[in-house]
Amino acid sequence: AFYFFESVTIDGQAAEFDDWMGAFNGDICVGARQWDTSECGGGICEVTAGGYDGTEYTIGYMMSGEIPSFKIYDTSENTYYDALPSEDFPWQNLGVSIIDNLQNINIIELRETANALRQ
């Protein structure tokens, strides 16, 4: 399946051309793409998320209906961030999803939200 992102942001700033985005099924990376919009069609880059095809090489890859998770690699900071797409689309063989934004998850905001829910 192909997940197209119109923008990728890290802490609200546009990702750089040498940053990467990856699609995951649990701990397994099922696809990755450098965020170099000059190399992408119309400046919108995609991550191809591979699916399980019945072979041993694709064990753990995506299956119909599963939703991939995403990460952003910030090259300048040498840091990986968990990331959230602005919309979730389930994986389907040869599916095409166009998503407005992929942004890193702010860990501080997550902690504050979790603490507020516990109260």
Tell me the pLDDT band of 62, cut-offs 50, 70 and 90.
very high
| pLDDT score for 35 | 95
* Positions of E strands within the chain: 2-10, 13-14, 20-25, 28-34, 45-48, 69-74, 79-85, 96-104
How confident is the model over 86-90, as a mean pLDDT? 96
How confident is the model over 75-89, as a mean pLDDT? 94
Distance separating alpha carbons of residues 94 and 115, to the nearest angstrom = 40
For the chain, the first-to-last Cα distance in angstroms comes to 40
Distance separating alpha carbons of residues 14 and 113, to the nearest angstrom = 25
Q: Which of 79, 7, 10 is nearest to 46 (CA)?
A: 7
**CA dihedral sign, ordered 41, 43, 49, 55:** positive
pLDDT digits 0-9 by tens, 5-23: 999 999 999 999 999 999 9
How confident is the model over 30-44, as a mean pLDDT? 92
| φ, ψ for residue 108, nearest 5 deg | -65, -45
Distance separating alpha carbons of residues 72 and 105, to the nearest angstrom = 10
